[in-house]
């Protein structure tokens, strides 16, 4: 007797193809499920603030708050782009070899200043609508971390 001592035959070529197709389909479905359950990205500033504060106000005042921030949208978008670029510069300088510590320190200070601008514009926007809000709404804003 020659050949296969166990008497068993190897898998047929069709089964190999079917197994590979099944594995590919399972990987695809797993990736789809992982993407479906992934958290959405956080809202950009100032949307996080507005969505936290506006529901505590009467509808008319909440709408006034949203409109005030919507008018500032182009300014916030430009600040976001500038801040992302500043963070990218910090990342590149931190990875550079050799490390240029003075340049990195300067880039960090620039990024910090750009991040601070968000708070300043938010404060300006709130101050612009405060005179139009009734005392009860101003008190609610103050209670929500004005």
- Residues contacting residue 122 through CB under 8 Å, at least 6 positions apart: 45, 46, 49
Domains of the chain: 47-143 (1.20.120)
pTM value > 0.85: no
**pLDDT above 80 (res 13):** no
pLDDT in tens, 115-139: 999 989 999 999 999 999 999 999 8
The pLDDT score that the predictor gives to residue 117 is 93
Structure token digits, residue 33 = 């499920």
Average pLDDT, the chain: 86
Q: Using pLDDT thresholds of 50, 70 and 90, give the confidence band for residue 143.
A: confident
Indicate the helix (H) or strand (E) that contains 51. Answer: helix 47-53
Query: Measuring CA to CA, how many Å separate 88 from each of 49, 81, 85, 116, 137?
Result: 25, 11, 5, 17, 40
Average pLDDT over residues 17-45: 81
């Amino acid at each position: 007797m020659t050949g296969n001592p166990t008497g068993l035959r190897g898998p047929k070529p069709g089964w190999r193809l079917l197994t590979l197709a099944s594995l590919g389909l399972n990987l695809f479905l797993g990736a789809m499920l992982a993407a479906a359950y992934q958290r959405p990205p956080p809202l950009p500033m100032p949307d996080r603030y507005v969505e936290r504060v506006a529901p505590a106000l009467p509808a008319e005042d909440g709408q006034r708050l949203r409109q005030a921030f919507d008018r500032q949208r182009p300014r916030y978008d430009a600040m976001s782009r500038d801040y992302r670029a500043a963070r990218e510069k910090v990342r590149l300088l931190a990875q550079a070899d050799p490390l240029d510590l003075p340049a990195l320190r300067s880039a960090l200070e620039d990024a910090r200043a750009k991040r601070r601008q968000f708070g300043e514009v938010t404060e300006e926007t709130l101050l612009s609508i405060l005179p139009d809000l009734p005392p009860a709404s101003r008190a609610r804003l103050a209670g929500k971390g004005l």
